[in-house]
Structure 1
Amino acid sequence: MSEDKIRIGITQGDTNGIGWEVVLGAFADPRMTELCTPVIYGSPEAAEFYAATLCGEEAPALAKVASADEARRGRVNMVPVGERLTVEPGRATPESAAAALAALRRATDDLKARRIDALVTAPINKEAMQGDGFRFTGHTEFLAAELGGEPMMIMCSDRLRVGLVTIHLPVTEVSAHITREGIGRALDTLRASLRRDFGVVEPRIAVLALNPHAGDGGLLGREEEEIIRPAVAEAVARGVLAFGPFAADGLFANGGYARYDAVLAMYHDQGLAPFKVLAPDGVNFTAGLAEVRTSPDHGTAYDIAGQGKADPQSLRSAVYAAIDIVQHRRAWDRWTSNPLPHAEREKGRDVSVRDLPQAAKEE
């Protein structure tokens, strides 16, 4: 192992939810530190509470560091963040929300400064966090504001990937936000992510309809004929391998999704409900940002918080996904940075800048 092993920042999430339980449970396995250098951002009081009450001797030792710059390989590093607090499992409190926000802000600052290579976020309570310091409908919107870019939520697992055109909107507002331009952008973002982040050379994307039975030729809605189908056709003309629109129930029920590298859903529950049934340990990845962010596909789970019932597998999968995506991005950036030297090296010839044509030197 080397000192430049991928650094994965992990935020504690809501301290009264299952965040600390799944984080501690995931890193109780010493093999995790062979894959990456973890840097956990959170409350020492919350860490000690859950380690003592739930993990006992199995709890991983946390090496406290003042900054991610001090993180070392082979151990579970922790950056203490926030004020002292009282842990109350299963309750949404202003204290737990403030702790979640403090950890998120500190980790995001380190992500922007490249002190960590990727961010994994434990679940927050979006309603409890609303206030002067946080007026967003979730992690995705917060990170878009902090990092720039146009984010897309992609739920991913070994068997299925689902992207969303709209994310956190009331169902009554979804139709108004379904546009040709929006679907086109989503298809372009999803294709680019599948290539750079997941290593799919030329992805095939299934596009879902908005209405039941794909609108039944306009009988159950006009969005398919007037918006979605034309958007798919325009994307195909740009070189995107997009297909549809397909009725959502049929595509998932008959296993048709398996013929595609990803599915583009029109709204949150249309994509996430079948995904969570088919991939219970899936991962939420925010595509379209300059930095890598993943999270487990579950919430704070207040109903089981503090009871030792939380399964850390989705958090562990989120760490795996973050590592894979960082590696895929680095490889993609190398391959696409300047293709001529790579092509020449593959022929056995070492190419230096002085060997390149003038146009290539100027690039």
Structure 2
Amino acid sequence: MTASPIPGTRPSLGITALGTYAPPRRVTNADFEARIDTNAEWIESRTGIRERRFAAPDEYTSDVGVGAVRDLLARDPDALLEVDAVICATVSPDALMPSTAALIAMQVGLTGAAAFDLSTACSGFVYGLSVAQGLILAGTARRGLVVGAEALSKIVDQDDRNTAILFGDGGGAAVVGPVPQGYGFQHFVLGADGAGGSSLYLRCAAPRLPGGFEMGETVGMNGREVFKFAVRVLGDSGNEVLAKTGLSSADVDWLVPHQANIRIIEAACERVGMPLSKTVVNLGRYGNTSSATVPLALREALDDGRIRDGQQLLLVAFGGGLSWAASTMKWWGGAPSLVARAEREAVGV
């Protein structure tokens, strides 16, 4: 096991535990045929989605987030030790206040930890990883819990063919903390362009955006504009973060993209120079779960053995804002308790 970093040097930080949750209710493409002008084959051919999960009537985003944390704890009961910051990335919070992060923290035994929500839509989980890293490096937190959780079925117009067929519910939870040297996060690229806000939005207090764009009451999307933006920004941000890390696409073992649309993923792969065979795709079973797509895809690839210890990963995502996020990281397959043990052994304790 690699020894602890030399005092005064930047510690290596990464994901030390990861859990996910998807509500049990499956909604297939065929379920939309009786209600809106579409058919199952049309949906799958244009999006790659076959089914998605919907939360129960009395199940909301905090419940989904807690489900992901409980899965994390089932995999590593000690995963939350020393966690003193909780970040929830979501666009479907239970309430604007209290934060969904605080509600999750309360239910998983982290009352008293710093807790706040982060709103960058589908790029939120990768944003959250970067924020957690920053809090730890600043000395504000020892470990962070980053939750990407959504109950999008509650805020999407289920009679709108443009959006209803795309979105599902789900959650992922990751602990960010020390990992052995040479592993963990390498670089992040984050960005946003509010001028594109009218292409993907959800109204809150204001009826219109700056410039006078009138918003509807549910999620609104200009699919053509979002597609063009997504393909460009996923490729550009992925290439930018690879350059910052000193890597090329040939050095990447797995690309883990936001799961929005199979055509977007295919086009983004081409721009980054990654084959689809080295790209984690589980869109067909979950649809677009916004901030939960990256952890859901990452956990699935870990469980089936595709992603292994020491492999080079590239995470890319885009979302409302319009926002984008990318990260390079070298996966470490240990657990927080093993890091603590390595640290003790390094100093002879």
**TM value normalised by structure 1:** 0.29
Whose radius of gyration is greater, 1 or 2? 1
- Could you say which structure has the higher helix fraction? 1
Q: Which has the higher contact order (CA 8 A, sep 6+)?
A: 2
